[in-house]
């Protein structure tokens, strides 16, 4: 190790430690920013120290959960693994994950790296990491002001992939956009998918990112949809067809406690109540297998895996069951609405919409979500909050769905706990996620103290 690298790492870690004390755990990307400024090649240097393989996970929806499952699976096999746990998936966050994983001497002790990467950031991150495997979950609209329409995301990902040689792609073959991208790339690829129609009509909705063949431009035909453009597709004009998945989930059974499904000759029992988490589990398992790991402990690991990951947390506060769900784009939001409708009991629903940079400053995507289903949610009240709470109320007005607006999140949650249905769903976009989780933890302690 060069003296310069060692000194840069030590200084960046000192900055991180100081920032944690001053800012109370915030600023996880700062050490990466400092390290890059002092040593622009720091990421390439550190990532080359990973002894075995590096996985990068990309995609509009599901990459954080997929990456987390992959990390836990490798750890269960006794491997030492680097991961960007906080979900900081831009360049500085990725560099931070490597810098902070070093020991007191600045040395990296890792068999594998599992790194989720923002789709646009992949243009600069992938060539520096040079991963062995890239897992692509799906491609759909996300943050219009950053990504633009889905064609721009497609082209950016294609450019990033083609700039990164000697990398095997693991692709969701049910997504015609991901499959076409793999076919147009210069890389070897392997597909995974779900062979059965397991998503309900609310999940499937009418949100379609692409129903036209990218090869010839004709309209695709579907035997069935999962959600968005994902499903069993074929082009009647040029013959493009959903590939037979090398790793396919079959014999799927969903229940209130979780799900069971088979992949080849192995059967998995999971706590995944939402069907989209079967995709995430399948992608992680397939990634292990294409890397040559038998993963004998995967069944036990996945049976105990917590799919919440701070993005689907459950609290019981003052006798009220509170669920918090992240939804940050049209397809993701549609899946959360489906979850709400699966609960037949009376409930209150709060929707928090912000427009910070991390959320996307353009919230016009709200008009692409089929909110009309909420009329059948048996909701005692629907409350909009966040910086764009009034935009959310306006959107629901066009569906003739009554909606309150409250900009006082804490007192509104307290009101729900003390005066409403004892069953609260909180759907939040990105910047509301961690602050709302923290608020609920504080409220949980507060109400526990009152009971004592």
What's the full length of the chain, in residues? 452
- The answer to the question of whether 235 is labelled as a binding residue is yes
* Closest to 140 (Cα-Cα) out of 391, 373, 365: 365
Find residue 253's DSSP bridge partners. Answer: 260
Inter-CA distances, 107 with 7, 101, 327, Å: 12, 9, 38
**293 in helix, strand or coil?**
coil
Active-site residues, by number, are: 362
Q: Which position has the token pair 């993963």?
A: 295
Distance of alpha carbon 226 from alpha carbon 7, whole angstroms: 51
Helix (H) or strand (E) holding 384: strand 379-385
- The answer to the question of whether 416 is labelled as a binding residue is no
Half-sphere exposure of 339 (CA within 13 A, CB side): 24
- The answer to the question of whether 216 is labelled as a binding residue is yes
- Residue 96's Cα: distance from chain center in Å? 20
3-state secondary structure 303-333: HCCCCCCCCEEEEEECCEEEEEEECCCHHHH
In sequence order, the 6+-apart residues with CB closer than 8 A to the CB of 387 are: 353, 354, 355, 356
Side-by-side strand order, sheet with 112-116: 81-83, 112-116, 53-58, 133-136, 168-172, 189-194, 247-255, 258-263, 266-270
- Residue 290's Cα: distance from chain center in Å? 22
Distance of alpha carbon 199 from alpha carbon 220, whole angstroms: 20
- Residue 449's Cα: distance from chain center in Å? 34
Quote the tokens at residue 223: 């035997």
Distance of alpha carbon 390 from alpha carbon 393, whole angstroms: 5
- The answer to the question of whether 114 is labelled as a binding residue is no
Q: Which position has the token pair 């001497």?
A: 105
In sequence order, the 6+-apart residues with CB closer than 8 A to the CB of 320 are: 416, 417, 420, 422, 423, 424
DSSP code, position 197: -
Where b means 16+ CB within 10 Å and e means fewer, 57-73 reads bbbbbbbbbbbbbbbbb
Residues marked as binding for Zn(2+)? 213, 216, 235, 238
């Amino acid at each position: 190790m060069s003296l310069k690298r060692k000194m840069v790492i030590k200084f960046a870690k000192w900055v991180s430690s100081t920032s944690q004390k001053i800012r109370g755990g915030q600023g996880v990307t700062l050490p990466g920013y400092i390290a890059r400024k002092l040593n622009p090649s720091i990421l390439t240097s550190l990532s080359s120290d990973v002894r075995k393989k590096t996985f990068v996970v990309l995609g509009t929806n599901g990459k954080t959960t997929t990456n987390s499952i992959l990390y836990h699976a490798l750890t269960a096999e006794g491997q030492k693994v680097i991961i960007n746990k906080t979900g900081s998936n831009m360049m500085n966050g990725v560099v931070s994950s490597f810098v902070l994983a070093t020991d007191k001497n600045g040395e990296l002790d890792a068999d594998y790296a599992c790194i989720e990467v923002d789709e646009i950031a992949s243009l600069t991150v992938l060539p520096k990491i040079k991963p062995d495997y890239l897992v692509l979950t799906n491609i759909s609209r996300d943050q219009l002001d950053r990504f633009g329409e889905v064609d721009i995301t497609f082209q950016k990902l294609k450019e990033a992939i083609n700039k990164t040689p000697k990398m095997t792609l693991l692709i969701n073959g049910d997504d015609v956009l991901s499959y076409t991208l793999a076919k147009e790339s210069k890389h070897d690829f392997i597909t995974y998918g779900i062979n059965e129609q397991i998503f309900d009509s609310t999940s499937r909705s009418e949100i379609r990112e692409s129903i036209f063949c990218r090869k010839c431009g004709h309209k695709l035909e579907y035997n069935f949809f999962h959600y968005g453009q994902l499903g069993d597709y074929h082009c009647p004009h040029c013959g493009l067809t959903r590939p037979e998945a090398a790793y396919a989930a079959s014999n799927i059974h969903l229940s209130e406690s979780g799900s069971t499904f088979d992949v080849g000759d192995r059967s998995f029992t999971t706590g995944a109540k939402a069907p989209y988490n079967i995709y995430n589990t399948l992608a992680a398992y397939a990634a292990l297998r294409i890397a040559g790991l038998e993963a004998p402990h995967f069944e036990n690991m996945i049976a105990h895996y917590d799919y919440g990951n701070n993005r689907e947390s459950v609290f019981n506060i003052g006798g009220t069951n509170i669920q918090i769900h992240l939804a940050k784009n049209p397809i993701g939001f549609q899946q959360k609405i489906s979850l709400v409708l699966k609960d037949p009991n009376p409930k209150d629903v709060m929707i928090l919409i912000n427009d910070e940079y991390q959320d996307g400053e353009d919230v016009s995507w709200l008009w692409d979500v089929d909110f009309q289903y909420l009329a059948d949610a048996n909701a005692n009240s629907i409350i909009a909050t966040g910086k764009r709470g009034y935009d959310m109320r306006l959107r629901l007005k066009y569906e003739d769905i009554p909606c309150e607006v409250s900009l006082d999140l804490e007192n509104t949650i307290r009101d729900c706990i003390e005066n409403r249905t004892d069953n609260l769903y909180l759907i939040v976009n990105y910047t509301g996620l961690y602050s709302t989780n923290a608020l609920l933890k504080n409220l949980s302690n507060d109400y526990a103290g009152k009971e004592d």
